[in-house]
Amino acid sequence: MTRTRETLRRIVRRELRPKAAAAADAKAVAAATMETYEQLARQLARLIGKAGVSAIHARSVHLTQKEFPWLAAAPPAESSQLPIQHLRTTLERQQPAVILVSAETLVVNFIDLLETLIGEHLTTRLLQEAWPGDFMAGTAREATE
């Protein structure tokens, strides 16, 4: 069964929000959401390498910028930050609610691109490994709704 974008959004929301809910300020919310995103990136790097993850990340940021123009696709040339570190810094400048919604959109775009490249089955397996815990229960619950 193919996941809808809204089902994927609910799964991502369920992964991002509990960690961010405990955070007190924008910096902590950005750190919590980035932790979840980075778990996925590390898991994916095992399959497609850091360069592949960077390419999907860059494209995801580009797609997300359509809805959140303040996202910068890459750090300025004079910056020593890696793109994912730059994303964290950019997120920290936003309100916590905006961080959550934009990070959710970014991760959904990331997963959509990943599914296009490697298929839904392998993507689901990677998500299960990156986000163990209630991912399987949540996925099964989403499939029956």
Express each pLDDT in 50-75 by its tens digit: 889 889 998 999 999 999 999 865 55
Range from 66-70, 98-102, 139-143 carrying the lowest mean pLDDT:
139-143
Residue 91 CA from chain centroid, whole number: 12
Reduce the secondary structure of 70-109 to three states and give it as a string.
Answer: CCCCCCCCCCCCCHHHHHHHHHHCCCHHHHHHHHHHHHHH
- Can you tell me whether residue 31 is helix, strand or coil? helix
Please name the residue that has the structure tokens 């299960």.
128
Tell if the pTM clears 0.85, that is, is over it.
Answer: no
Q: Does the pLDDT value for residue 127 go beyond 90? A: no
- Identify which of 1-10, 69-78, 115-124, 128-137 has the greatest average pLDDT: 115-124
Cα(82)–Cα(74) distance, rounded to whole angstroms? Answer: 8
Of residues 125 and 135, the one with the higher pLDDT is: 125
Q: Report whether 47 contacts 35 (CB < 8 A).
A: no
Do the Cβ atoms of 34 and 87 come closer than 8 Å?
A: yes
- Which carries the bigger pLDDT value, residue 8 or residue 67? 67
